[in-house]
Structure 1
Amino acid sequence: MARSSRKDEILQAALSCITEFGVEATTIEMIRDRSGASIGSLYHHFGNKERIIGALYLAGTAEYAALLETGFAQADSAERCIKLLVTSYIDWVVANPDWARFLLHGRGRVEAGELAERLREANHAHAARLHEKLAGYFDQQLFKAMPLDCFTAVIIGPTQDYARNWLAGRSRTPLAECRDLLAKIAWDSVRA
């Protein structure tokens, strides 16, 4: 996360506190102390702890989506697009392990909070962009026939499961070392 603005500094501080103390134990005061922001600045930018949590979640998913978008600009085949979905996810998780842990465990809280509609909109936009990028390959029947709502789970499911175990310290092999293998498995799972 870039430290280019006060808002970013607050989000970075929130992530640091959440990583150290957990979501429930983290308080506005902790975030204020760690960020150096005034209480007025915290409330000006976010309003409350739940909005900070929601903004942190949305910022993480947006950063991953931006990484994916950059890759899509160069991916010129169905295989490269599918593998990109896996490799971008792995690259982001490896570069941002604390943020990734938060995203893996914080979704339900955000879905139940004030920013639930913004999360739904962001997820819808992300899904639409994926569909747009892959539509031509679907039209060419380069993928196995399967329900569209299963397609992404088939691609990212094994990677997300391994990442969850790696982030929890339950896997010995570093996630980055599994990058090519998991990308190949994803492609093999969906190619016609």
Structure 2
Amino acid sequence: MSPKQQRGEATADLLLTTALRVYAEAGQQGFTVNAVTAASGVSLGSLYHHFGSFDGLAAALYTRCMEELLEEIVSAVKRSRTARTGIRALVLAYLRFTEEHRDAALFLHASAYSGYLAAHAEEIRAAKAAKLSGLGEWLRSRIGAGEIVPMPPALIEVLVMGPVAEAARRWLASTYDDIDLTEAARILPDSIWRSLRPA
């Protein structure tokens, strides 16, 4: 990689890192192109060069946060020996990521339906599919072995991710005092497993 390419990657990384910090500190209202360029010291022209637009930067940040979460989840699942321990590992990895990477988790959960994602939906979908391919293989092998009830992968995702994502979202919102991640980690894995195990 040439020095120019290295500088370009460093600038893009600085913009993404700064954008996440700005979002965490200022919220959605304060998440603006001016705030990010001021905090990063990177010019507006450079931001547009690397990401095309502020929406492009936000979508790239969403993709980065999503990939980090999915990498942790898939890695945890692949180390598991049984379907049950794999589901437990997935739930615990998601909750652990939420707690340890609060800013990234906050951006993911608050951004999921933001308008700037629509224009980049295909890129985001492709990045998600690439990261989830390992999980899909693992699920198919467990279904084939009779360890998980046969159903479409999308429904398995809803059954597994839905409760965990909602628990994380409510904890991150901090307007709810009824969600404790430690309690969620104790209760959710077995509750979710019961919906997936064969009768």
Q: Fold conserved (TM > 0.5)?
A: yes
Aligned: 1:34 with 2:69: no
Q: Could you tell me how far apart the structure 2 residues matched to 1:147 and 1:182 are?
A: 21
Equivalent residue for 2:5?
none
Aligned: 1:102 with 2:82: no
Report the structure, 1 or 2, having the larger helix content: 2
Equivalent residue for 1:136?
141
Equivalent residue for 2:3?
none
Q: Secondary structure at the match of 1:56?
A: helix
Contact kept, 8 Å, 2:70 with 2:132, in 1: the verdict is no
Contact kept, 8 Å, 1:91 with 1:176, in 2: the verdict is no
Aligned: 1:190 with 2:196: yes
Equivalent residue for 2:76?
71
The residue type paired with residue 181 of structure 1 is I
Q: Could you tell me how far apart the structure 1 residues matched to 2:179 and 2:59 are?
A: 32
Deviation at 1:49, TM superposition (A): 0.6
Q: Secondary structure at the match of 1:23?
A: helix
Deviation at 1:151, TM superposition (A): 1.1
Contact kept, 8 Å, 2:74 with 2:135, in 1: the verdict is no
Deviation at 1:110, TM superposition (A): 4.4
Give the alignment of 1:121-160 within 5 angstroms. 121-160=126-165
Q: Could you tell me how far apart the structure 2 residues matched to 1:118 and 1:31 are?
A: 23
| Distance change in 2, residues 1:12/1:107 (3 Å) | same
Q: Secondary structure at the match of 1:5?
A: helix
* Matching residue within 174, 177, 188 for 1:171: 177
Runs of 4+ in 1 over 6 A off after TM superposition: none
- Structure 2 spans left out of the alignment, 5+ residues: 1-8
Matched pairs, number: 188
Contact kept, 8 Å, 2:55 with 2:117, in 1: the verdict is no
Question: For each residue in 1:103-162, what CA deviation from the matched residue of structure 2 results, as whole angstroms up to 9, or x when unmatched?
Answer: 11212334412x221111122223432221122210111112444321111112221111
TM-score scaled by structure 1?
0.86
Please say which of residues 54-63 and 17-26 is displaced more in the overlay: 17-26
- Structure 1 spans left out of the alignment, 5+ residues: none
Please say which of residues 10-19 and 173-182 is displaced more in the overlay: 173-182
Please say which of residues 54-63 and 89-98 is displaced more in the overlay: 89-98
Seq. identity, %: 29
Aligned: 1:46 with 2:51: yes
TM-score scaled by structure 2?
0.83
Contact kept, 8 Å, 2:170 with 2:179, in 1: the verdict is no
The residue type paired with residue 108 of structure 2 is L
Deviation at 1:56, TM superposition (A): 0.5
